[in-house]
Amino acid sequence: MILLAGERQLATVRSKTYESERNITHVIISIASSWAFSVGVVYSLKACVARDFIVALLYSAVFVSAIVWMMRVRKMNVAKWKGHRGTLQFSQSYQVRENVTSATFLYKCFLIYSVQEVLSWLCALIHLTSRDVIKVPIIEETFGFMFDIIVALASTTLPLSIIRYNEKSRKQFRWLLRKIGAYKNEENAESFVDFEGKQTRIKAADETSIYFNQFKEAWS
């Protein structure tokens, strides 16, 4: 999450040239950092409740930092777009708009994922405390089971959140459902995302004119 927020921050700072850049070095460093952090967490989890509490607090700090960072990135890009309408180069204007929409949907996904992870860590801490400190088997088994369920749910809720809040992913998902006959096309309504990342429901027939009006306002 921190790495994604950092990538969006980099796209904000280099909005003029980011679209044409090839940041292979940054990608390699990000992947290596993520692996190192994951390995460190795995090897730090020992039979010690105090250490587990510290790890849980660190995770909570990471989640909060990522959410606040992504909120700041979105705010910066919205302010840049509103304050420089008609003065930005086309590629930079496109990149700023992409930063707004991506930061908006990533922020929502971060929030959902963070709530799940915090709940799972709370269940894990209660499980370990009841196992190693207060010795209550029923609490140990209950919260251990809840921890397993919440962690497993993340593999479902996170993709669903991306489909729900990302327009391109949602359209591809609907296309796939249409292919298998599980989704009926809505001819009278469509989802529209404006330059500030806001979504509204419009008639499909009006989509072209609304897009042209958005571009006209952006360049006026």
Express each pLDDT in 87-125 by its tens digit. 666 666 676 777 777 777 777 887 888 788 788 888 888
pLDDT at 204 over 60: no
CA atoms within 13 Å, Cβ hemisphere of 41: 14
Cβ–Cβ under 8 Å, residues 103 and 70: yes
Instruction: Tell me which of 67 and 217 has the higher pLDDT.
Output: 67
pLDDT, mean over the chain: 73
Average pLDDT of the residues in 151-173: 84
The pLDDT tens digits for 60-86 are 777 777 777 777 777 777 777 676 666
pLDDT at 173 over 70: yes
Per-residue confidence (pLDDT) for residue 87, from 0 to 100: 65
DSSP 8-class letter at 205: G
d(CA 120, CA 60): 11
pLDDT at 126 over 80: yes
d(CA 190, CA 199): 10
Per-residue confidence (pLDDT) for residue 41, from 0 to 100: 66
Alpha helices in the chain (DSSP H): 2-13, 24-44, 49-83, 90-132, 137-165, 167-179, 207-219
Cβ–Cβ under 8 Å, residues 162 and 109: yes
Per-residue confidence (pLDDT) for residue 78, from 0 to 100: 74
Percentage with pLDDT > 90 across the chain:
0
Per-residue confidence (pLDDT) for residue 205, from 0 to 100: 59
List all residues 6 or more positions away from 217 whose beta carbon is below 8 Å from its beta carbon: 85
96-124 in b/e burial notation, b at 16+ Cβ within 10 A?
bbbbbbbbbbbbbbbbbbbebbbebbbbb
pTM: 0.57
| Count of Cβ atoms closer than 10 Å to residue 77 Cβ | 26
Per-residue confidence (pLDDT) for residue 24, from 0 to 100: 73
Average pLDDT of the residues in 135-150: 87
Residues facing residue 63 across a β-bridge: none
Per-residue confidence (pLDDT) for residue 190, from 0 to 100: 55
